[in-house]
């Protein structure tokens, strides 16, 4: 497994791309309202990225048709924008990639649409809190499998289940690089596999299910739901390991 080590100047370039992701997510967070269609939300995101003189990295990636993944309610990740109207009480995952000068940024949030139920608030909080728990405990010398186990334990202790078969990932000059970082321990021992080192840049993205972590892909061949048919949540940040700890790049 070849996990690249980024030089300080390369991390600064990644910081720019990721700041554009954060700006775009914050822009959508401020303007998304009940009554908008998923297509309108995507167009708003794509237009905002263009206004930054950057490119929506997901558009055309592996054949994905849009710049913003719009994952509504039961769709946990990879939702395709369409004419579905968001309404009060929905929850909406927004996952965005930006490419600027050959460097990639990636982050995601799950957004409440108006007033949502207490159960959905807790569901969203689990992905958010799991993400920041993982970021806060990262240190150089820790194994990625140890980080995955920490994510799994946090999610399960909150009463939820991590989505199986999908994971966080390295990022740099490609939107997806080594390593893969599941939100659960893949294998028997966390004391195996590569260690986290200074200069590594990667995305962590807890994907939360309620009763079953088994994934089902819908007929559009993109939208991922749990086999339990219940709502899920998703949060993501890109981090760089600097001075032996994780620093979030996907912030304004």
State pLDDT tens for residues 108-149.
999 999 999 999 999 999 999 999 999 999 999 999 999 999
Summary mean pLDDT of the chain: 98
Q: How far apart are CA 214 and CA 212, in angstroms?
A: 5
Q: 160: helix, coil or strand?
A: coil
pLDDT at 160: 98
Please list the alpha-helical segments (H only) found in 64-141. Answer: 118-137
Closest CA to 42 of 104, 92, 6, 91: 92
Cα 188 from Cα 196, distance rounded (Å): 19
**CA dihedral for 173, 190, 165, 224, sign (positive or negative):** negative
Q: What pLDDT is attached to residue 119? A: 98
Token representation of residue 178: 């080594």
Which of these, 238, 251, 211, lies nearest to 76 by C-alpha position? 211
Instruction: Read off φ and ψ for residue 126, nearest 5 degrees.
Output: -65, -45
Label residue 229 exposed, middle or buried (CB < 10 Å: 0-12, 13-18, 19+).
Answer: exposed
Q: Are 191 and 144 in contact (CB under 8 A)?
A: no
Concatenating the DSSP letter of every residue in 190-225 gives TT-SPBP-TT-EEEE--EEESS---EEE-TTSS-EE
Regions of the chain with pLDDT less than 70? 1
Q: What is the predicted pLDDT for the residue at 170?
A: 98
Burial class (CB in 10 A: 0-12, 13-18, 19+), 252: exposed
Which stretches of the chain are assigned E, i.e. beta strand?
A: 55-56, 68-72, 75-77, 91-100, 103-112, 161-162, 167-170, 177-182, 201-204, 207-209, 215-217, 224-226, 233-234, 237-242, 245-248
- What residue ranges do the domains of the chain occupy? 8-248
38 neighbors 72 (Cβ within 8 angstroms): yes
Grouping H, G, I as helix, E, B as strand and the rest as coil, residue 185 is coil
CB atoms within 10 A of CB 101: 10
The pLDDT value given to residue 26? 98
Class (C level, CATH) for 8-248:
alpha beta
The DSSP bridge partners found for residue 56 are 98
- pTM of the predicted model, to two decimals? 0.97
> 44-73 as b/e, with b when 16 or more CB fall inside 10 Å?
bbbebbeebebbbbbbeeeebebbbbbbbb
The pLDDT of residue 1 is: 58
């Amino acid at each position: 497994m070849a996990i690249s080590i980024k030089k300080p100047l390369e991390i600064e370039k990644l910081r720019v791309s990721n700041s554009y992701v954060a700006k775009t997510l914050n822009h959508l967070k401020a303007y998304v309202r009940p009554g908008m269609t998923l297509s309108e939300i995507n167009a708003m995101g794509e237009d905002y990225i263009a206004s930054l003189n950057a490119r929506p990295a997901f558009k055309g990636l592996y054949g994905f048709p849009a710049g913003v993944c719009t994952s509504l309610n039961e769709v946990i990740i990879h939702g395709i924008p369409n004419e579905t109207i968001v309404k009060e009480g929905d929850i909406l995952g927004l996952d965005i990639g930006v490419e600027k000068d050959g460097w990639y940024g990636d982050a995601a949030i799950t957004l409440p649409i108006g007033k949502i139920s207490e159960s959905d608030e807790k569901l969203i909080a689990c992905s958010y809190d799991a993400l920041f728990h993982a970021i806060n405990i990262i240190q150089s010398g820790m194994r990625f499998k140890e980080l995955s186990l920490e994510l799994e334990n946090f999610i399960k202790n909150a009463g939820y289940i991590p989505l199986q078969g999908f994971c966080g990932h390295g990022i740099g000059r490609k939107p997806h690089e080594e390593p893969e970082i599941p939100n659960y321990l893949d294998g028997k021992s966390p004391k195996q596999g590569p260690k986290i080192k200074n200069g590594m840049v990667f995305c962590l993205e807890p994907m939360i299910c309620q009763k079953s972590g088994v994934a089902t892909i819908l007929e559009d061949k993109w939208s991922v739901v749990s086999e339990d048919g219940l709502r899920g949540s998703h949060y993501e940040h890109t981090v760089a390991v600097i001075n032996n700890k994780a620093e979030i790049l996907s912030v304004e």
